[in-house]
Chain A
Amino acid sequence: MSEKSVSLKKDITPSKIKSDYKVINYLREIKVDWRLYLLLLPMVVWYLLWMYKPMAGLLIAFKNYQPNLGVMGSDWVGFTNFKTLISGPFSATFWRAFRSTFLISLYGLIFGFPIPIILALFFSEMGNKVVRNVAQTFTYLPHFLSEVTITGLMLTLMYHGEVNTGVLANLLYQLNIVPEGTKLFQTASYFRPLFIITGIWKESGYNSIVYFAAIMGISPVLYEAVKVSGGNKLQEIRYVTFPGMAPTLIIMIILRIGRMLSIGYERIILLYNENTYETADVLSSFVFRVGLEGGYSALGAAAGMFNALIGFALVMGANFISRQVSETSLW
Chain B
Amino acid sequence: MDRLSRSEIIFKTIAHILIGVFALMALYPVVYAFSASISGKIEYEAGRVVFMPKDLNFQVYKLIFDDKGFWISYINTLFYTVFGTAWSMFVSVTGAYVLTKKRLLFRKQFNLFVVFTMWFNAGIIPMYLNYVNMNVNNRWGIVIAFGVQAYNIILLRNYFSAIPQEIEEAGLVDGVNEFQLLGRIFLPMSKAALATVTLFYATTRWNGYFWARILLTDPMELPLQVYMRILVENYQSMIDDMGDLLPYAADSYIYAILVCSIIPVLIIYPYIQKYFSKGVNMGGVKG
Contact = CB atoms under 8 A, between A and B. Distances in A.
Contacts of B24: 138
Contacts of B129: 54, 57, 60, 71, 297
A301 B126 contact: yes
A49 B120 CA distance: 15
B26 A147 contact: no
A300 B124 contact: yes
A301 B123 CA distance: 7
A170 B94 contact: no
Contacts of A291: 124-125
Contacts of B277: 136, 209, 213
Given A36-B101, A43-B94, A148-B228, A119 B26 contact: no
Contact of A47 (B104, B113, B285): B113
Nearest to B228: A148
A150 B33 CA distance: 11
Contact of B19 (A135, A137, A251): A135
A163 B15 contact: no
Contact of A166 (B12, B124, B251, B286): B251
A141 B26 contact: yes
A228 B26 CA distance: 38
A292 B128 contact: yes
Interface in B220-242: 225-226, 228-229, 232, 236, 239-240
A233 to B, nearest CB: 4
A39 B183 CA distance: 12
B92 A43 contact: yes
A156 B225 contact: no
B91 A50 contact: no
**Majority-rule SS of B interface residues:** helix
Contact of B250 (A50, A164, A210, A287): A164
Contacts of B45: 163-164
B57 to A, nearest CB: 15
A122 interface: yes
B210 A266 contact: yes
B173 interface: no
Nearest to A125: B15
B280 A40 contact: no
Contacts of B265: 144-145
A284 B121 CA distance: 13
Interface string B79-110: 00000000000111011011101011100001
Nearest to A264: B210
B16 interface: yes
A288 B124 contact: yes
Contacts of A297: 125, 129
Contact of B47 (A165, A204, A205, A300): A165
Contact of A145 (B19, B207, B208): B207
A42 B239 contact: no
A145 B206 CA distance: 9
A123 interface: yes
A231 interface: yes
A35 B178 contact: yes
Contact of A167 (B47, B101, B103, B250): B47
A137 B18 CA distance: 15
A47 B117 CA distance: 9
A162 B249 CA distance: 12
Given A163-B250, A210-B280, A51 B19 contact: no
Contacts of A51: 117, 121-122
Interface in A129-151: 134-142, 144-150
Interface string A288-331: 10011000010011001101100110010000000000000011
A126 interface: yes
B113 A121 contact: no
Interface of B: 1, 3-4, 7-8, 10-12, 14-16, 18-20, 22-27, 29-30, 32-33, 36, 44-45, 47, 49-50, 90-92, 94-95, 97-99, 101, 103-105, 110, 113-114, 117, 119-130, 134, 145-146, 148, 153, 177-179, 182, 203, 206-210, 214, 225-226, 228-229, 232, 236, 239-240, 243-244, 249-251, 254-255, 257-258, 261-262, 265, 269-270, 272-273, 277, 280-281, 285-287
The 5 closest A-B pairs by CB, nearest first: A43-B95, A304-B123, A146-B207, A57-B126, A54-B122
Given A148-B232, A201-B26, 5 more contacts: A140-B273, A141-B26, A251-B285, A292-B128, A312-B120
17 contacts: A35-B178, A53-B130, A57-B127, A137-B269, A142-B30, A146-B208, A146-B209, A148-B261, A152-B254, A157-B32, A161-B240, A165-B47, A167-B47, A287-B123, A287-B125, A292-B128, A308-B122
